[in-house]
Each structure stands twice: as structure tokens, then as C-alpha cells.
Structure 1
Amino acid sequence: MNARRVPRRLLLTLHLGEVPEHLPAWVATTRYGVAPADHIDGGIVDRLLNDLGGAFRCARVHSARKPRTTAIAGARRFDDVEQLSGVARVLRVELQDDAGIHDLVTALRQVPTVEGAMCEHLSYAPLDSTSYRALAQAQSGPTFDPQEAWRPHELIRLPQALGYTQGDPAVIIGLADTGVALQHPGLPQAAMRRGFDTVDLDPSTMGGLTLVGDSHKHDEDPSDDVGHGTACAGILRADGLDLPPGGAGQCSLLPVRVLAAALAGERRVGVGSIANIDAGMKRLIDLGAKVINMSFGTAEHQLPDGGAPPHLEVVRYALARGVILVAASGNSGQAERYFPAAHEGVIAVGSVNLRGEPSRFSTRGEHVALCAPGEGIWTCGLTDAPGGLQRANGTSFAAPFATAACALLAARANARARPLTGTEARALLVDSCRPHLRADTTGCGAGVLDVWSALRALENRMDDEDDDAGDGDPGTAP
């Protein structure tokens, strides 16, 4: 997980009521041929952008949840939640001249109508894994061990949880990642909702990275060229034939490709701009995702130009819509904050090994809620051949176990006609954790995920609520 500034591009958030109606959504400029705006307020913001950035063009990062009845293709109207959370007010600005961008950001932050300004940067999702197929061909490295594959699931008592509830297809898990290998034989097609792709990167902004495969313009194909998203998908929804069944049971999976594939040396990584990631996140929310897994992030000390951390507006929007957000804490092995994991309201997940001990690479901090297995995780790989597996390590693969637990909790709450908020889900997971076995676990959260205990805690709470409701005086029938 790392950060690199995108040349000539910044993200600008205006205060409530300050965004003019003429600004189109970015997707309208790429899909419907609408021209980006060449002015914003006709005042000080435009003067600063022109003086310090040369000519510029601008569009809203996000599309509105509901279309406006109008003849203008791609035009939208934002509702109160979109306005108050800020997603309706985030602008993507492309400058002609990059030389003065840091001075420009500093100056924009002093403007009364501006809520925030930052250079746009890239977020990464490295994958520490080995392809089972490649290893078998090379006759070296680990070979698939079915017994070992079950150990992470047994550690957090997933088999017992799935024996109690199988989940619900109506509960949608959003997977914001590098996409998914859609034809993988170990991922049931019936579990997969129609996904999409919000990656729109310029190869000239990648520095030393070389983009691989599809990297330009939004489309409806979330195919994975890295393997990171496919690994997360396997933890959530594997069919249970070669691998243990996915922890989310019968809950649906909605993949969005927010990270493109790039070569870092000989290794493929996922890379995406903050605007692309946030656009994908918002669309997941608008399509009804109840839980979203975010196995990516940016370290606070790597953020360019200071300012507000990334993903703030879309996190606020998700929480306002009742979405449960789960994120990987990071793989630095240090006590620090990665975003989006460190945002308030996000369930940040660290990693433990198969003995339940905190992983050396797991990022720590007061914001970390709990840990889940993140070492030696056998899951789906990129290969389409039967047995296309990989053995993965990282908090990226601990987070999906907690995401699966949240999906099962939401499904069980649905079965009894109860809502479940992110705050409630976090409390259930944290309060039901098994304590860490070692003493040196500061910053590793409340303990190790216990899905079965979390489900029982939810069931007991709902039973108590029913009992309390029955204790009242029913009154006299009319």
C-alpha cells in the first residue's frame, strides 16, 4: 500500500450550496460525450486555477443516485444525503500546468467557498501470494493442502456459523478491488451480481509503473488482471468443492474493479486513483450493497500536501445509507493509520496467523477493531483451470473474513425483520472476539474474530428486545 501523486490533477470539495449546476458528472463526459466544464464559480476559484494551473477542465467525481427527468444525457439531481455527505460536491480538476500545483492547493484551502483541496494520488493493493498452478508446474513451493485450507475458517468458527445460518442472497456484498475472475470454476456464477469497472487511468501518470490490460474509461466488465480481488472473492463466496465454502454463505457478491493492473518490476499490483475508487464505492452503495469490503489503502504519512484523508465523503455517504464498511488495516507492521481503514465508522481489520497470533506485518493502531486470519490463506487465483488456487498473505485477506461475518449478521437480522447498522455490527464483532493469546498485542484490536459468537450475541440481543416488547401493557382492545 503506497501513494503516488497524479500529475496535473486535484480533487476540490466545495461547501454546501457552492457547487454550480452546470458542472457535469465525470461519467457523463466519458460515456455521453458531455464536455467537461472550463469554469466553476466565475470568481476566485477560477482565477486561482487559471493563474497557477493554466487552463483547466472540471467535472463532478460522482453521479447522482437518481436520474433527473431531462433531455440532457447523463444529467442528474443529487439528494440531501448526497449533498450533506459531500459526494455531490467533490470535483475532479485537470490542469494544463503542473508546476504550481502545491501552491494552488494551499491557496484554494484559504478560499471561503472551498471545503477541501488535495492533489489526487494513487492507491495500491499489493498481492503477496503464489499461484498454485505455477508452483505445480515448477515443482517447487507449497502444494495445496485441504486441511490447511480449513484452518482459518475453523479458527474463527465459520463452519459453526454457516451451520446456523446460510446467509441471504438479498444481502449484497460490494467488493471494491481489482475485479474478479468471472469464469473461475470455484466461484458460483449464481452468487455474482452484474459488476462494473470505474478504472480510468492515463499511462503517462504512472511513473515507473506499466499498466497491464484495461485501464481506460468506465465499463461494465470487472474482470481481474491481478488476482487480488479474486482472492478476496474466494474467501467470501468459494463454492466449497476444492476450497472451504465462502464465509458469506448464500449472500450475493457485487464486484467493482476500482484498481487496474500494473507491473512493479516483475510483480503485478492493483493501482487506482482516489477518484476512480470513490466513484466505484458510491455506485456500489447506490446499487444496494449492504456490506463493502475495502482491501486497499493509503498511509497517512504518504498523503501529498496534508489536508483531509482520502475517501472521507464516500465513507460518510455509505454510513448515512446504512452500509457496513470493512477495511484492511495495512501491511506496514507499524503503528500508523491507513485510509479508509482509519476513518470513523469503518471496521478496521488486522491479521493473525493460523495460531491466532498477530501477524508481524499487520498495521496496528487504536482504530483497529479486531483481527482475522491473514496468513497462509488458500483461496481462488486467476487461472480458469480447475484447481486454480493461490496461497495469500496480508490484511487484505483478513478483511474479507470480517466482511463475511457482517454479511451473515445482516442476513440473520433481515430474517427477523431488524435493521443492522455498521455501529451495531462493529460492536457485535468486537464484543464477541476471543482475546489475543499474547501480551504484546497493543493496537491489534479487541481480539480474534469469532463469527459463531457474534451470531449468538445478535440472536440473544434480538430475543431480549422481543421480551422487552412483550413486557408492556397491551392495553384494551377497541
Structure 2
Amino acid sequence: MGPLFKNSGLPTYHDAMLFVRMKPQQHQRSFEAALAVARAPQSAGLQALAFFERAGLVKRVTPVSRTSPHFTSRMLVRPAREPNSKPEVLGVSGEEVEGWSAPSLSLNAALDGRTPGGATSLIELVSDTDVRQLQLALAGDPTVASVSRVPMRYLAAKSQSVSTASAKKRSPAPAAGRIAAVPPPAHTMWNLRKIKWDETRNRGGFDDGSRIKVAVLDTGIDTDHPDLKEQIAQYTFEHPDLPGASSSQDLIGHGTHVAGTIAATINNALGINGISRARIHAWKIFDDRPDLLAYLDGTAEFAYFVDPVMYLRALLDCADAGIDVVNLSIGGGGAPDPTESAAFEELLANGTTIVAAMGNERRDGSPTSYPAAIPGVIAVGATNLQDRITNFSNRGNHVTIAAPGDAIWSTLPTYPGQLGWKAERGPDGRWRQGKADIRETDYDAWPGTSMAAPHVAAAAALYIANGGQRNPAVIRSALASSADKVPAMGGQDFTPDFGYGRLNLEQLIAGISQ
């Protein structure tokens, strides 16, 4: 079996980073204008910020908004599948904005743009020791709407590989055109049988969701995977104004795995079947640089985690693009900052359903994980073949529903990659990057609430496609009322393990016409 991603024992907030959100100001379009206001005696926070910059304590200022003149992105846009329809195009193409060069370390970075409630920038300082002083100064400034530490979001981090070689066939070595892990016949996939996928598809007038937009904010996606490429409508992956390198590749494979559960091509005699034919809109919210993560038990590894600006930009994009359902198989213990909260509120107000994984830290006491715990989000736990909650799935009163999340077969990139890198002590006693934790290619069975969440995201897409209301609260209620009350719930309507039960897709769709 593949990796089980966990984040317990890891940092809750980024070091030396602050999100600063400005109050909307008429005709105020940049930090330069804000600093002009700082000459007033009451603007001590911005005066402090200017002082920090002059002292060389500010490493970088990055505007979050996509509409800033300092921002552009690179994306892949799939042509429309219908002969007479137009391709879907979101955002800017790969060319840099005319007249723009890479932002300097100056506070001249624009604070203008469409972020909910006011323009927001990420301030990166040289040292974490200066964060508290600057945060207090900015918090008292009348031109600043909010200033907050930046919560970390992980897939996460410590990948605990479980050896179950007997559970799958392997070729001696991956070769061109071959797969390293061979999935079972698509019609025997236990997770699809459990949610009554076949019965649902056999209903009269069933709509497979090909007009529904499902966003996957994750590690990226393999746009050329033969079992997935027809379902990918759009892919945003590069941010030239950010310091981290971000290629189009899904090195970790997590995003490709999630997308396959939602919408791998159905009945094409290849690999697996996805739950729907929804159109996948993918945003890569991880860069390609692993960072050192040290654990409380004294161990460490080089792992990947969510880039906060890429993540917030993706949330804003989803609101602009009219995305129907967002899947977030990420988590972390840090409560949302005001900009993240505002982005979620905007998505929900616009009718976008948000599905998130509960987290895999059950053995560590099930710490609260966000975004699953954000109000209005559908939080998903993971069940196994026996309809019991898995031994890793977090429990909590904010859980909505459970879905299959153990040994879930799905797509992986067709090219090599790694889940992370071992950390080794160098001669100087410092950690250094060691061997890569290599993942499979093409397909593999993985465990995790990350794998359970896309079952529910696909179910939400099919609910909308088959005439259900495009309303997050209505969809949450429909999922809850149609879920199976499995025996392990002990006759209760709700438990902190299962929520309102295990996903039953047939009952969910049948309930639309009732």
C-alpha cells in the first residue's frame, strides 16, 4: 500500500511570515500609497514596516491577488470537447505582463487587487524573531484590516509506507508504456461497489456530470495520463513572481490520484473507473522544492507542503471561474487567517461546495485540521472494506460524512516522482537531503482521508448534474440524509467518527426527485 500522509508534530505556522490585509482605501493602489499615509502619526504600523525594510529585515513582499500588475501565471487549457463550443480559458497565458520585471525586495509590491475584504500581501521577514514585533505594530494601524501568522497546510508530511506487496501485482521494473502496480479490473473496485456506483449509473436519465466543474487544489496533475487527460479542462501550475520553482509535473502524485477518483475515464478498458465525468480544473498549490520538516520525536525529512500564496490565489480563481465543487485533500492545525476565511466565505456564498479531508492523525488524538473544520465545509472521514472507520481517520464533531479511504486504487503520474526525501545528519551535525521516497507510476492503491474526500466531491458533482440544487448547505444536507447508517455506528444517527454515515451515491441521487 502507498503512503499515509500525516501532519501531527509539525509546525502549525510558517516561520517569518505574515499576511497583511489592508482596509479598502479609495485611490490607494499600492504600498507606496499606503506608506504615504504612514506619515500620519496614527499609522505607526506602516511606519514600522517601512523601518523594517530600510533595515534589511524584509526579505520579500508578495501580493496575493491575481489582478495585481506584478502577477501572471502559466496554465494549460484543454480545447473544448464539443466541435462547435469554445475552449475554456481561465486567467493569463504564459507570457509575462508587458513592462513587468521580477519584484524587488521593496515595499513597492502592489497591495491592490481582488482579495475579499481588502488587498492582501504576504510579508516574508529575514528572521522569525522579528515577526511578533511587526505583527503588534501593524495590528494597531488604522489602515490595516488584519495581520496574522500564516497557517501551514500539508498533505503532509511524514509518509508512512506500508509494505503489502502481496496486495498487488508488480512488473520487475517500470518500463515505457508499462505500469509498476496493476490495478484490479475496474468493475471490481471495492470502493465503487460500496457506494453503489453501478446501481446509480443504471438509473434512467442518469447524468454523469460532464458539464460540472470540479476543482482539485493539490500537488498538480499529469495532464497526459491516458486514463485522465480527456477530463482535464484547465491546469494552473506556475507563478513567475514567486521564488519557488513550480513545473507542470505532479512530482508527488497526490493530485493525480485524487483527480482519478473523481473523474478517471469510465469504461475505457484501461486502469480504473472514476466516479463521474466531471471536468477537472486543477491548481497546483505546491512548489517543487522540498523543505526540512523536523518532528517532535527527533526525526526529520525533506517534504512538500502548500505554498500559501499559490493556495489563496487558487481559491480566488475558483470563485472567479464559477467552480461547482472544490476538493481539498490537505490539512493543518493552524486556524485560517482572515484572507483564507474570506475566500471560503465568498466561495460558499457563490454556491460552490467545498469538500475537505478530516486528516490522518487519529493515533495522535485526532487534532482539529483545517480546512475541514472551517464552517460550511463538508468534512470527510475514511472507511475500510468492512465499513469501519480506518485506524488513521480523524474524529470530530465537525465531520459530515465518511467514504471509502483505504487501499483506494487511482491514477498516478506516468513519469517518476517521489513523496519526499529522507533526512540524514551531515558531518557538521546538520540535516541534509538523503534518498528519495520513490512512489509508483501510472496507478497505485493509497490510504487516507485524502482518498475519501474525492469520493464525496464527485458525489456532489453528480448531485448537481442530476438536478440537485447548486447550494452547499443543501448538498451537505442531502449527503447526510442519504448516507448509510453502517453497523459500526451503533444505531446512532451521527457519530464523531462517521458523521451522518458512509456515502451512498444511489440514495443521494434518488433523493433528488423525492
Fold-level similarity (TM above 0.5) = yes
Q: Look up the match of 2:120.
A: 90
Of the three residues 139, 146, 153, the one matched with 1:116 is 146
Of the three residues 314, 324, 327, the one matched with 2:356 is 327
Which shows bigger deviation, 97-106 or 290-299?
Answer: 97-106
Q: Look up the match of 1:102.
A: 132
Of the three residues 158, 163, 167, the one matched with 2:202 is 163
Opposite residue 445 of structure 1, the aligned amino acid is: G
User: What does residue range 339-354 of structure 1 map to in structure 2 within 5 Å?
Assistant: 339-354=370-385
Q: Look up the match of 1:451.
A: 505
How big is each residue's C-alpha offset from its partner over 1:51-72, in whole Å with a ceiling of 9 and x where there is no partner? 45645464531224999xxx99
Opposite residue 463 of structure 2, the aligned amino acid is: L
Is 1:259 equivalent to 2:286 in the alignment? yes
Is 1:61 equivalent to 2:64 in the alignment? yes
Of the three residues 461, 472, 476, the one matched with 1:422 is 472
Structure 1 pair 309/286, CA: closer, same or farther in 2 (3 Å)?
closer
Preserved contact between residue 149 and residue 337 of structure 2 (Cα < 8 Å): no
Q: Look up the match of 1:434.
A: 484
Partner secondary structure for residue 91 of structure 1: strand
Gap runs ≥5 in structure 1: 25-35, 204-214, 461-478
Gap runs ≥5 in structure 2: 1-6, 69-89, 92-96, 101-109, 175-179, 294-299, 417-439
RMSD value over aligned CA atoms?
A: 3.7
Partner secondary structure for residue 235 of structure 1: helix
Q: Look up the match of 2:273.
A: 245
Opposite residue 383 of structure 2, the aligned amino acid is: V
| Aligned equivalents of 2:213, 2:396: Cα separation in 1 | 29
Opposite residue 447 of structure 2, the aligned amino acid is: N
Structure 1 pair 44/267, CA: closer, same or farther in 2 (3 Å)?
closer
Same amino acid, percent of matched pairs: 23
Shift, 1:146, TM fit: 2.9
| Aligned equivalents of 2:316, 2:171: Cα separation in 1 | 40
Opposite residue 151 of structure 1, the aligned amino acid is: W
Of the three residues 245, 248, 254, the one matched with 1:216 is 245
Preserved contact between residue 358 and residue 399 of structure 2 (Cα < 8 Å): yes
Which shows bigger deviation, 126-135 or 322-331?
Answer: 126-135
Of the three residues 295, 308, 320, the one matched with 1:274 is 308
Shift, 1:169, TM fit: 2.6
Structure 1 pair 321/459, CA: closer, same or farther in 2 (3 Å)?
same
Opposite residue 184 of structure 2, the aligned amino acid is: D
Preserved contact between residue 129 and residue 391 of structure 1 (Cα < 8 Å): no
Is 1:196 equivalent to 2:245 in the alignment? no
How big is each residue's C-alpha offset from its partner over 1:75-109, in whole Å with a ceiling of 9 and x where there is no partner? 9986xxx56x43x4322223355431123223433
Is 1:377 equivalent to 2:408 in the alignment? yes
Shift, 1:368, TM fit: 0.7
Preserved contact between residue 174 and residue 284 of structure 1 (Cα < 8 Å): yes
Preserved contact between residue 178 and residue 261 of structure 1 (Cα < 8 Å): no
Opposite residue 130 of structure 2, the aligned amino acid is: G
Preserved contact between residue 16 and residue 131 of structure 2 (Cα < 8 Å): yes
How many equivalent residue pairs? Answer: 414
User: What does residue range 349-364 of structure 1 map to in structure 2 within 5 Å?
Assistant: 349-364=380-395
How big is each residue's C-alpha offset from its partner over 1:362-401, in whole Å with a ceiling of 9 and x where there is no partner? 1111111010011010111222599821110000010000
Q: What's the TM-score once normalised by structure 2's chain length?
A: 0.70
Opposite residue 448 of structure 1, the aligned amino acid is: R
Shift, 1:23, TM fit: 2.5
Q: What's the TM-score once normalised by structure 1's chain length?
A: 0.75
Shift, 1:448, TM fit: 0.3
Is 1:368 equivalent to 2:418 in the alignment? no
| Aligned equivalents of 1:19, 1:368: Cα separation in 2 | 42
Preserved contact between residue 326 and residue 348 of structure 1 (Cα < 8 Å): yes
Shift, 1:39, TM fit: 3.7
Q: Look up the match of 1:208.
A: none
Partner secondary structure for residue 154 of structure 2: strand
Preserved contact between residue 182 and residue 444 of structure 2 (Cα < 8 Å): no
Instruction: Looking at secondary structure, tell me which structure has more helix per residue.
Output: 1
How big is each residue's C-alpha offset from its partner over 1:153-193, in whole Å with a ceiling of 9 and x where there is no partner? 11111222233323233211111001111111221x33111
How big is each residue's C-alpha offset from its partner over 1:293-317, in whole Å with a ceiling of 9 and x where there is no partner? 00011114xx6xxx84772122112
| Aligned equivalents of 2:99, 2:162: Cα separation in 1 | 46
Opposite residue 155 of structure 2, the aligned amino acid is: A
Opposite residue 156 of structure 1, the aligned amino acid is: I
Q: Look up the match of 1:137.
A: 172
Q: Look up the match of 1:313.
A: 342
| Aligned equivalents of 2:484, 2:284: Cα separation in 1 | 34
Structure 1 pair 134/37, CA: closer, same or farther in 2 (3 Å)?
farther
Shift, 1:337, TM fit: 1.7
| Aligned equivalents of 2:452, 2:483: Cα separation in 1 | 14
Preserved contact between residue 354 and residue 375 of structure 1 (Cα < 8 Å): yes
Is 1:179 equivalent to 2:220 in the alignment? yes
| Aligned equivalents of 2:241, 2:331: Cα separation in 1 | 18
Structure 1 pair 228/116, CA: closer, same or farther in 2 (3 Å)?
same
Opposite residue 282 of structure 1, the aligned amino acid is: L
Structure 1 pair 50/394, CA: closer, same or farther in 2 (3 Å)?
same
| Aligned equivalents of 1:443, 1:251: Cα separation in 2 | 29
Q: Look up the match of 1:402.
A: 456
Preserved contact between residue 20 and residue 121 of structure 2 (Cα < 8 Å): yes
| Aligned equivalents of 1:134, 1:100: Cα separation in 2 | 54
Of the three residues 142, 148, 152, the one matched with 2:191 is 152
Structure 1 pair 426/102, CA: closer, same or farther in 2 (3 Å)?
same
Partner secondary structure for residue 153 of structure 2: strand
Q: Look up the match of 1:33.
A: none
Is 1:392 equivalent to 2:446 in the alignment? yes
| Aligned equivalents of 1:77, 1:14: Cα separation in 2 | 9
